[in-house]
Structure 1
Amino acid sequence: MNRTLLVGLVLLGAAFGAGGTWLAERVAPGELSGADRARVDRAVHDYILANPDIIPEAMQRLADRENGKVIAAQRSAIETPYGNAYMGNPNGDVTLVEFYDYNCGYCRASLPTLDKLVQADPKLRIVFREMPVLAQSSIAAARAALTAASQGRFKPFHDALYAAGPVSDQTIAAAARTAGVDLSKRPSDTDDEIRNNLALTAKLGMRGTPSWIVGDRVLSGALPLDRLQEAIAAARAAKS
């Protein structure tokens, strides 16, 4: 094999997260002498130093691949809402899952974006999953939200609590009254639901709210409308 082509393949492998020597040995088994191997390793080393942006790209691709395996194995559980904790088309062809905390200002700021997503995409379903990590009051709010979802009143409660300001027993109770939720009828499995959500987010490396799952991807932060639409479009294309 032409040595220039061989090194080119190695560098291509480095750019996409494969070890240079590993790729070269499989493209041209036995063609690397000790001197060639040293030159390949140096070429990869120099290439990475000259193009350090490939490192986070490669790491992200690896994370996406591993997360995709976890998501695929648990897709039904991830995308099936608790009660009516969703908005949009209940039979949508793509599901966007938001992991949120009622003490999260970025989650509150994302509410108008989610409304725009649903208005613009009649085939989209958005599922809400509790990720109460910011304060003890977040756990009480998550339990109340699941109670609301079990009574078919999730979205009115969700919006009312975010509109009420800092989370407290008083604002939770006020949001429940506004939404017509009886908090005394909390289902027995709400804590199990929260534990399962937190176990999943830990497995997927989610470190804050809001976090999102769409298709096989995990996204983080208060993302702009176009970024979420791009991710939704990619998930839809992958299914076709």
Structure 2
Amino acid sequence: YIASSNETGYYHLSNLFPSIYKLTATLDGFEIHKNESLFLKPDENTYNITKPKPSNVEGVIFYDANNNREYDSGEEMKNADVQLIYSKTGAVIDSSITNSTGYYRFNNLVPGDYKINATILNTTNGRVAYDASKDVTLKANETLTKNVSLSLTPIPVSGYTKKQENGAPLWNVTIEFSPAVTKNNTAEFATATSNETTGYYTVDLKPGVYNVSASVMVTNIETNKTTKYEYKGTLSLSIGQNPVKNFDILLTKEEG
């Protein structure tokens, strides 16, 4: 059953059987009231709906440089693009660019569930360098403080696993990307496995410096001899850089 209120706010629903109903009221695409168990008795029922007072949300966009899981002075990120998204519809309600203190604020919001998305671009290539997405629930007549911690956007890395001796593909090779022991390294451990047809692999890696290793055992069906192939190398990824599309893993045959 659907009804729209008139210019005085009056609405009317008819021909309802006595029962328990769920009632939802929306205004301009926003849900302003919900009753999951509205009991209607026989004859006329009156149920008034009050529009909630608006909400606000504000906070600081920051990068947790010391990794202590909280905002500290000096971690503010300016020029972050902050979007406020209404969770029920996915619509962008408002957007803002943070100032030199990383501050953002959105005013006069209908209470409800929202998502705050924040990004900072690499100004050289236009790619996203930092990003974050946080859910918030706004209550009526309140100003919520929500600081948002940015993460480093992963860099896509791809290539093929091959024999170093002749470039022939090697399949089902597991590659390990381990953070190198360097100061302030932001790398995070990850693995990738090349496919069974071409030896192609792809992985998303946080910026940083990596030690890369891989090994695989290959058995010759005719001779039943097993040969081990290994790889060790390094990879350095900068914040917001372009994808690395040809990082081939050339494995060397182990002698003996």
Give the TM-score category using the shorter length: under 0.3
Q: Which has the higher contact order (CA 8 A, sep 6+)?
A: 1
Q: Going by fraction, where is strand more abundant, 1 or 2?
A: 2
Q: TM-score, normalised by structure 2?
A: 0.22
Q: TM-score, normalised by structure 1?
A: 0.23
Q: Going by fraction, where is helix more abundant, 1 or 2?
A: 1
